Amino acid sequence: MAKQPDTNGVDRTKRSDLPLVRPGRVILGYLDRIEDASLVGWAVDSLVPDRTLTMRVLIDGQIADVISCDVNRPDTAPLNLPTTRVGFDYMIPLRFQDGLRHVLSFATLDGDPISLPTRGGLVLPELHFCLKTRIHIEGVLDGLVDGMIQGWVVRVDERTNTKMGGVRVLISTKGQPLAELTANEFRADVAEATGADPSCGFSYALPPELRTGKSIVLDFHAMPDRILLRGSPLELAIPAEAERARLSSLIDRADELFRYAYHLRRELKAAMLAERLTLGNYESWVRQSRKHVPARATARYGAIGGSPLVSILCPVFRPNQAEFLAAIDSVRAQTYPNWELILVDDASKDEALSETLDRMARVDPRIRLIVLPRNGGIAAATNKALEAATGEVTAFFDHDDVLEPFALDVMLRARTATGARLLYSDEDKIDRSGRVSEPNFKPDFNYRFLLDLNYICHLVIADTALLREAGGLDPRFDGAQDHDLLLRLAEKLLAHEIHHVPEILYHWRITAQSTAGGAAAKPRAALAGEVAVAEHLKRRNLPAKVERRGSLTCYQTSFRLTENPGISILIPFRNHIDLTRQCVEAIRAHSDGMKIEILLLDNWSQGAEAEAFCTEQGNEPDTKVLRIAEPFNYSLINNRGVAAAAHPFLLFMNNDVIVNDPSWLRTLLNEALTDPRVGAVGAKLLYPNGTVQHAGVVLGVGGVADHAFRGLPSSAPGYIAHAIAAREVAAVTAACMLVRREAFEAAGGFDEAELGIAFNDVDLCIKIREAGYRIVFTPDVVCEHRESMSRGDDLDEDKLSRFMRENEAMRGRWGHLLAHDPFYNRHFTREGGLYRDLRSLDPKDETPIARTPAQPYPIAPVHAPRTPAPSRPAKPARAAKPVAPPARAKSGGAKDQRVTPR
């Protein structure tokens, strides 16, 4: 490998003061004392006895620590070694002093096992131990929650008050053990309330053989001391198999009759204990899914074209050595062999780390080392690696994270199949014991989401030439340097050149110093992110204010545009005069300075009160009342309203939606004005009790579609901040939806022939996207929605047949799209449990992906004020017919930008 010129650092790729291959290597040593949690001994490398030996300490197969044998041991003088500083004194970490059996072993820095003799004459390749500190147990059995028995438990160290998860929980009945599990599921609520390790929850489903229909009493004990959890014992009555079979047949029958009537199906399924994979038992999902990833990638993407060299850039600054070695091991374990790992020591000035880096650069010729004389920060160090890179493709890698063995292989297959120049994968988090948690199942490329949140993070690979053309990382944004880079790349790339690989390929290390351990760990990173987004918008000539959402590394991007082309607000109503008046008066009270007209679409209201209201409203300025004396057909009513509307933007609004924010209309309009390809913008709707009714629509869930985050507290972030960040979505509800008139007309309007009541807004949004426009959800317009007060429940007995027909119409028209919402990760099920329930995909069900032809630019590169078209009456919108959909545009890190999922 040729040495790269480097004016500011030292490239140590070619140094040879130590042999690369060391035949006859023997580690001399002795383990002479094992007391409590302390191991004392000495060790030296027989080939280089004058150099301090550095050893890996492995506990339960994971690298727990890296130690140097540099303690003075005068008793070794008779051995005539070059130095007596060969000793070690190692204290087993508190997290392993939990009363359970563990296995400890030693290895050299490059992974060779070390066996040390003891006083008894034994040579120990590994040491089994069981230690217990002064601890007590805290825990609660929550009971039956969402079909699973759930709870939490932590082990409290009385000396430090540290509260750690990972406690074993024994489940028994009448003294007979049923199961033993580990309490390591993510519980943010417990962490917030008690200051405990959030990985402390557990969930359990009773096995089928115990579902007899009779009452059963379960005991939950924290092990190994069998401490009964608060709330235990728990008494349950689980349906017997015969009853379960009857319920299952009812579910099947309901599916046959109503196909997509998922509300009824949920009620039936609620009677049965859940048997499913969720975010709560993510580790179980990983065990099932991981083994299928290579086969899925092969089926989906095909073979890798050629054998491109991948340059893996890894800035290094004083990492935990055990975690650093695990990171290097994961690169060396890649199934794709043609890579180079460029380690840039950012002036760590740590002797032990320097030895580790030197050794790694000699163990594998694909590893190159550059040492910088001065600390420049993560961006500068990464740029130094980019300068030295010789690969066609570049990957970014943090010094303590872990790659899946097939990560590069999968990413390169995707690159070949799609022609993308920038690719990113899904990721999760990994702790010191190698346990994975908190998966980030990402959407396909979502530019609007990227403004509010660096949801892309890891793993990112890109064409090396592209990165150099973009100027690499900007040191001004250290902590958010990857967010800034991604925004700059989005300015250069076409939509098809950014591709999301929907597989967990990267494990982000949880440490106290990184934002993986909490968003408050590096507040400067969040501030840098604000500036990065603001400068990106400035380059696009989009005036905006960018500020953090609370303490998260998530931003509110408020556009400051002044165009006022005019909005026609369409409100269908039938009776419910008081409610409709509240709706209209709230609009007038909170729309100062906006050019609007209100069209009240009276669908056969009856009585003197209604007549007086219509007369009163008809005399208001910029208000029209249209009487539509026909049976209720939401699509027809709104199409008639559009025909009478005067303005280039249409706001469809239910009469049971109440606004109370003076900037609501300006915010909706500005989201649309930022890009002429934004066809519709939807608001966040809350029930009267303050919980979420709508935060975007997900296609395919429950059959056709469902609202995201229904029932979530209004300010809760939801999954990876999806509930509080603006983002592109597949659809929004027409209960409060701003639509660009040209997009509405391109889509053919609402379908009044087949979708008169349900799913017409979902259908319209799909048609708008098929016409090449984008749909945006904004959480910054919040309205109260008193859902269905005007016309009742869709599932009343006399409406069931119509509901069936509309489900069938959506399935027949959009079945090929409903199962593939690009903004909802494919690893979430479509059966229910939005952003919670998981599925393990079978490789044989994969559809090969074809290279996408060139598509229009994903975002408007420059915003220039446009002269609004003169107001004119629109042509009546025609009912949409089920036709073949036209082609449409596809739209598709360092660890300082990330939001913890809740």
d(CA 751, CA 768): 13
Helix/strand/coil (H/E/C) assignment for every residue in 319-330: CCHHHHHHHHHH
The string of DSSP letters for 199-220 reads EEEEEE---GGG-SSSEEEEEE
Contacts 24+ apart (CB under 8 A), 266-273: 266/832, 269/147, 270/147, 271/239, 271/247, 272/147, 272/239, 272/244, 272/247, 272/248, 273/147, 273/148, 273/205, 273/206, 273/211, 273/238
More confident residue, 82 or 124: 82
Give the pLDDT score at 23: 57
Cα–Cα distance, 152 to 684 (Å, whole number): 33
Which residues of 346-410 form beta strands (DSSP E)?
A: 367-371, 393-396, 402-403
Question: Are residues 269 and 251 in contact, defined by beta-carbon separation less than 8 angstroms?
Answer: yes
Residue 486 reports pLDDT greater than 80: yes
513 Cβ neighbours under 8 A, 6+ residues apart:
521, 522
| Per-domain residue ranges of the chain | 27-132, 135-238, 291-553, 567-839
> What is the dihedral sign for C-alpha 487, 492, 494, 499?
negative
Q: Which tokens in the block code for residue 299?
A: 């089926």
> Among 28-37, 410-419, 740-749, which stretch is predicted with the lowest mean pLDDT?
28-37
Calpha distance 221→330 (Å, rounded):
37
CATH no. for 567-839: 3.90.550.10
Looking only at the bridges linking them, the beta strands covering 837-838 and 460-463 are unpaired
What amino acid occupies position 728?
E
pLDDT at residue 872 greater than cutoff 80: no
Phi first, then psi, for residue 850 (nearest 5°) are -100, 150
pLDDT at 420: 97
Helix axis angle, 481-492 to 523-539, nearest 10°: 20
Torsion over CA: 114, 119, 123, 129 (sign): negative
Element (H, E) at 174: none
| 769 contacts 679 by C-beta, under 8 angstroms | yes
The 3 state secondary structure assigned to 452-494 is HCCCCCCCEEEEHHHHHHHCCCCHHHCCCHHHHHHHHHHHHCC
| DSSP letter assigned to residue 51 | S
Tokens of 81: 């070694």
Give the rounded distance of the alpha carbon of 259 from its chain centre.
Answer: 30
Condensed to tens digits (0 to 9), the pLDDT of residues 670-687 reads 999 999 999 999 999 999
At 188-227, the pLDDT tens digits run 788 888 888 888 999 888 877 777 767 889 999 998 788 9
Cα 623 to Cα 228, 416, 585, 615: the distances in Å are 67, 57, 12, 11
Average pLDDT score, the chain: 85
Residues facing 180 on adjacent strands: 170
Measured CA to CA, the distance from residue 380 to residue 370 in angstroms comes to 13
Q: Which two tokens stand for residue 584?
A: 């209209």
E strands in 18-69: 27-35, 38-45, 54-59, 62-68
Contacts of 128 (CB under 8 A, 6+ apart): 101, 102, 103, 104
Q: What is the CATH number of domain 135-238?
A: 2.60.40
Yes or no: say if 464 and 472 are a contact pair by the CB < 8 Å rule: no
Residue 164 CA to residue 433 CA, distance in Å, equals 13
Q: Supply the CATH classification number for the domain 27-132.
A: 2.60.40
Each residue of 425-484: pLDDT tens digit?
Answer: 999 999 988 899 999 999 999 999 999 999 999 999 999 999 999 999 999 999 999 999
**What is the per-residue pLDDT for 879?**
37
Least-confidence region, from 124-128, 329-333, 533-537 = 124-128
Q: Which of 93, 286, 274, 280 is nearest to 184 (CA)?
A: 280
Q: pTM (2 decimals)?
A: 0.80
Distances (CA, A) of 565 to 581, 596, 666, 746, 773: 26, 9, 11, 19, 19
* 340-377 pLDDT tens trace: 999 999 999 999 999 999 999 999 999 999 999 999 99
For residue 867, the model assigns a pLDDT of 34
Taking only the tens place, the pLDDT of each residue in 754-776 is 999 989 999 999 999 999 999 99
- Specify which of 108-112, 336-340, 805-809 reaches the highest per-range mean pLDDT: 336-340
- Token pair for 666: 């300006």
CA distance 590 to 666: 10
pLDDT digit string (tens) for 105-149? 999 998 999 999 987 777 878 888 888 777 788 999 998 876 688
3-state class (DSSP) for residue 259: coil
Fold agreement (27-132, 567-839): no
Please give the average per-residue pLDDT across 801-830, as a whole number: 87
Cβ neighbours around 629 below 10 Å, total: 8
Q: Are 102 and 39 in contact (CB under 8 A)?
A: no
Q: Is 673 helix (H, G, I), strand (E, B) or coil?
A: helix
The pLDDT value given to residue 20: 39
pLDDT for residue 588: 97
pLDDT of 404 reads: 98
pLDDT recorded at residue 264: 55
| Torsions phi, psi for 188 (to 5 deg) | -65, -30
- 397-412: average pLDDT: 97
Architecture of domain 291-553: Alpha-Beta Complex (3.90)
Phi, psi of 559 (to 5 degrees): -75, 145
Strands, DSSP E only, in 382-430?
393-396, 402-403, 422-430
99-109 residues labelled b (16+ CB within 10 A) or e (exposed):
ebebebbbbbb
Task: State residue 634's pLDDT score.
Answer: 95
pLDDT for res 377: 95
Sign of CA dihedral 526, 531, 536, 541: positive
For residue 637, what pLDDT is reported?
96
